[in-house]
Amino acid sequence: MSQYQVVASRGFLIVVLAMASSVVAGEPIMQLELQTRNPQTSEVIVKTEKVDPAKVAVVIVDPWNYHWCMTWTQQAGGMTERMNRALEGARKLGMTVFWGPTDVASQYVGTPQRERALAVPYIEVPHVRDITCKFTVPYGPCLCGPGISCAVNYGEELMDPRLVIAEDHILAVDFKTNRVVPNAPDACPDGLLRQMGAYAHMLRQIYPQRRIETAVLWTAKPALMVLPNEIVTNAMRALPYLDASAPRS
C-alpha cells in the first residue's frame, strides 16, 4: 500500500485525496474512503469506493510565485516540495495533472503544455456545485510583523490609502458603504465599533510611541467620522470577539 496526499492552499486549488493504491488485474485502482453525515441525524456515514486513476485529473489553479507580502510568499512557496511529491504519486497512478494559470497565462503562450490545454474541447457542466474551501487561512493582511520592511502588494506600488500616517499620529480609516449613516459615533453598530477597537489595539502594539485614532469614511454622504478611543475600546472590552461569539474548539 502506498500513501499519497494532495494539498490545497489559497492561490491554487488541487483536488484533495487521501488514497491507498492497489493493483487489481495489472491495473492500478484507487480505493477511497468517503465520509459524510446524515443531514437529519448527523450520523457519520463511511463508505469505500474504487476509482480508476486514469479517469482522475488533478487541477492546479494559480500556483503563483508571488503573493501580497514576503511572509505569504514564503508560506505558499513552502508547499512546493510537498506538492511535487504528491503530484509524482498522482502521475505514477496514471492521473492527468492539469496546470491552470489565469493572470499569468500570457507567460506560457506557445508552449506545448499551454497549446494542449487550449485545444481541450469545452464540456458543459450539468450542475455546478459550490466547492468553496471555507476552512483555509484568511488572506489579505501582511503577516510579517513589526520591524520588517515589507512592500505589500495592493495592486499598485502604493501604501494602503486607508492609513494616514503622521510622525506621531496614526489614523486608521475604514470605508463603509452603509445606506443608513449613524448621526454620531455612539450610534454606530456594536460590531463596527469592536472592529475599529481591534484595529486600534493592534496598532498600539506595533506603534507604542504614536497616538492612535480610528475613523469611518461613510461613502453614502460622504463624511469622515472620527471615533473616540473610549467608545471603540469599551466596545471591544465588552465583547472581544468580532463575530459576537466565543471561539469553538
Determine the pLDDT at residue 61: 74
Q: What ranges do the domains of the chain cover?
A: 2-119, 163-238
Strand segments, DSSP code E, in 52-204 are 57-61, 96-100, 163-165, 169-176
Length of the chain: 249
Determine the pLDDT at residue 223: 81
Whether the CB-CB separation of 170 and 212 falls below 8 Å is answered with yes
State the burial class of residue 229 (Cβ atoms within 10 Å of its Cβ: 0-12, 13-18, 19+): middle
- For the chain, how are helix, strand and coil distributed in percent, rounded to 5? 25, 25, 45
State pLDDT tens for residues 42-92.
Answer: 899 999 999 898 888 887 776 766 666 777 766 766 777 778 888 888 888
Helix (H, G, I), strand (E, B) or coil at 219: coil
**Cell digits of residue 159:** 501604501
Local structure of residue 93 (DSSP, 8 states): T
Determine the pLDDT at residue 231: 93
b/e sequence 163-185, b meaning 16+ C-beta within 10 Å = eeeeeeebbbbeebeeeebeeeb
Determine the pLDDT at residue 139: 59
Looking at the chain, the number of H-run helices and the number of E-run strands are 5, 10
Pairing of strands 2-5, 96-100: unpaired
Residues in the chain with pLDDT values less than 50: 1-25, 154-165, 246-249
